[in-house]
A and B are shown apart, each in its own frame.
Chain A
Amino acid sequence: MKFTEEHEWLRVEGDEVVVGITTHAAEQLGDVVFVELPDEGTTVSKDDEVVVIESVKAASDILVPIDGEITEVNGALTDNPSMVNDDPQGEAWFFKMKVSDASQMDDFMDEAAYQKFIG
């Protein structure tokens, strides 16, 4: 699993990458009450705002970590947003994408570096 400074995680699964937010990010957000996901098939560029996530406290955007195409979204989150708090780094993935340039993956942190990053 790789991590971004925006507190997302990426997991390579075959020729796709699965994206979610970290346990740390979910804790900071507090109780998640709303998730809006992108359309499958959308072509996206790094830093596009593709997911809206709202907690009891505030709305936040999830930025695309890498260029590519959204291939699948986790529709279960729309009906049950609290999954993001219950299992952020497992069941509560946001979307899967095909990555345009796999070398962009090299920019991300490994778990140890991320743990250090969040201190």
Chain B
Amino acid sequence: MSDLKQTALHDLHVELGAKMVPFAGYSMPVQYPLGVMKEHLHTRAAAGLFDVGHMGQVVVRAKSGSYEDAALAMERLVPVDVLGLGEMRQRYAMFTDPNGGILDDLMLANLGDHLFVVVNAGCKDDDIALMREALSDSCEIEVLDDRALLALQGPQAEAALARLQPSVADMKFMDVARDVDLDGITVTLSRSGYTGEDGYEISVANGDAVALAQKLLAIEEVEPIGLGARDSLRLEGGLCLYGHDIDTTTTPVEAALNWAIQKVRREDGDRAGGFPGAGVILQQLADGAPRKRVGLLPEGRAPMREGVAIYDAAEGGNEVGRVTSGGFGPTVGGPVAMGYVSAEHAKVDTPLWGEVRGKRLPLTVTKMPFVAANFKR
């Protein structure tokens, strides 16, 4: 009766008592019997296992066989230094459009002889079409539909995963390792995630996914975590959700993702520009953008959710921005939000007001993340 796609772990989620919801065309677990709040807190305290198999995994391999050729081709689509990415290292990137807007955000990894790309579920068909269109002259684009993706996140993720393979403890933030044996199951993994915690993202053959998930869930520190807590974790972590905090109407500079655009791709860099929207993006990098994504900390207890209008006065005044993601932060113990405000109101500690159910409630522009990141550098 449903056209929803399923990940390799679907039946396991149901068995674990997950509440399944449609998300980006997939049936996904929004929460398990533990509930969103406890799942969130468990991930910050111990380790949480997430199914992110709905995301797209793509190999970009230059026909020449060299990583450099694949990297240079990819640089035509992203404002990021792909060529300079070290072997077995990973980096955040975004596909931009000719107006400087963001088509999707993604992770790029240098696997020695090819690029490994992970894109959002909701954008993956367009992303794959984009890469095929733009890169096929020099590269083969291979979609890894036969692989699942698991994330193990939290301060005890290292200890938990090291029980299956001690060497994973040696990986640093954004390191990648290939053909790693996790208690008999071969995986490719990176030390990264989407929670603001230390952890790993593990690409595994669909046929091995359930067995690996069960091995991980059998470890005492590990609980399964749904999309609900994934969202509150990434929000506290100050991380963007595509389609909400970033989209084709926001540039990387407006989105405060300048850190993802390395010097070599900026004005006066060796490979300056050469990506879609470079004119707008380089100009904004030099002169600043008219608006900026910022953290917003509501003063009271009322959550300020996506769409809440932000004003520069408790009464009257002007609308100066909008909330793009907001809710309750279980670790913060109160509401947290992020959104766009005009540049003159984007300074940390600026007092502003969000209009909730007709009432202007005070909030403050705040540095993100809301919860200190816990990466293993």
A75 in the interface (beta carbon within 8 A): no
| Chain A residues positioned under 8 Å from B303 (CB to CB) | 33-34, 54, 59
| Chain B residues positioned under 8 Å from A30 (CB to CB) | 31, 35-37, 228
Q: Point out residues on B near A: beta carbons under 8 Å.
A: 31, 35-37, 40, 228, 232, 301-303, 305, 327-328, 330, 335, 357
| Chain A residues positioned under 8 Å from B305 (CB to CB) | 59
Interface pair A56/B301, CB less than 8 Å apart: no
Taking the nearest CB of chain B, how far is it from the CB of A58, in angstroms?
A: 8
Q: Which A residue sits closest to B232, measured CB to CB?
A: A56
| Chain A residues positioned under 8 Å from B40 (CB to CB) | 56
Interface pair A56/B302, CB less than 8 Å apart: no
| Chain A 69-84: CB-based contact to B (< 8 A → 1; otherwise 0) | 0000000001001000
Interface SS majority for chain B:
mixed
Q: Which A residue sits closest to B31, measured CB to CB?
A: A30
Interface pair B357/A56, CB less than 8 Å apart: no
Taking the nearest CB of chain B, how far is it from the CB of A98, in angstroms?
A: 26
Complexed CA–CA distance, A31 and B40 (Å)? 12
Residue of A30, A54, A56, A81 most packed against chain B (CB within 10 A): A56
Q: Which B residue sits closest to A49, measured CB to CB?
A: B357
Complexed CA–CA distance, A34 and B232 (Å)? 16
Complexed CA–CA distance, A30 and B327 (Å)? 14
Interface pair B37/A31, CB less than 8 Å apart: yes
Known pairs A33-B303, A36-B302 / 11 extra A-B pairs, C-beta < 8 Å: A30-B36, A30-B228, A31-B37, A33-B335, A34-B335, A56-B40, A56-B228, A56-B232, A56-B328, A56-B330, A59-B303
A52 in the interface (beta carbon within 8 A): yes
| Chain B residues positioned under 8 Å from A78 (CB to CB) | 301
Complexed CA–CA distance, A59 and B305 (Å)? 9
Complexed CA–CA distance, A54 and B335 (Å)? 11
Known contacts A56-B36, A56-B37, A56-B232: A33-B328 contact under CB 8 Å: yes
| Chain B residues positioned under 8 Å from A56 (CB to CB) | 36-37, 40, 228, 232, 327-328, 330
A57 in the interface (beta carbon within 8 A): yes
Q: Which B residue sits closest to A79, measured CB to CB?
A: B301
Q: Which A residue sits closest to B40, measured CB to CB?
A: A56
Chosen A-B contacts, 14 in total, with CB atoms closer than 8 Å, are A30-B31, A30-B228, A33-B301, A33-B335, A34-B303, A52-B357, A54-B302, A56-B37, A56-B40, A56-B232, A56-B327, A56-B328, A57-B228, A78-B301
Q: Which A residue sits closest to B333, measured CB to CB?
A: A33
| Chain A residues positioned under 8 Å from B301 (CB to CB) | 33-34, 78, 81
Complexed CA–CA distance, A78 and B301 (Å)? 9
| Chain A residues positioned under 8 Å from B330 (CB to CB) | 56
Complexed CA–CA distance, A54 and B328 (Å)? 9
Give the 3 A-B CB pairs with smallest separation, nearest first. A31-B37, A33-B328, A56-B36
Complexed CA–CA distance, A33 and B300 (Å)? 12
Interface pair A34/B328, CB less than 8 Å apart: yes
| Chain B residues positioned under 8 Å from A52 (CB to CB) | 302, 357
Complexed CA–CA distance, A25 and B335 (Å)? 22
| Chain B residues positioned under 8 Å from A81 (CB to CB) | 301
Complexed CA–CA distance, A30 and B36 (Å)? 8
Taking the nearest CB of chain B, how far is it from the CB of A63, in angstroms?
A: 15
Taking the nearest CB of chain B, how far is it from the CB of A11, in angstroms?
A: 27
Complexed CA–CA distance, A52 and B31 (Å)? 23
| Chain A residues positioned under 8 Å from B31 (CB to CB) | 30
Known contacts A52-B357, A56-B232, A56-B327: A31-B302 contact under CB 8 Å: no
Complexed CA–CA distance, A56 and B330 (Å)? 9
| Chain A 29-50: CB-based contact to B (< 8 A → 1; otherwise 0) | 0110110100000000000000
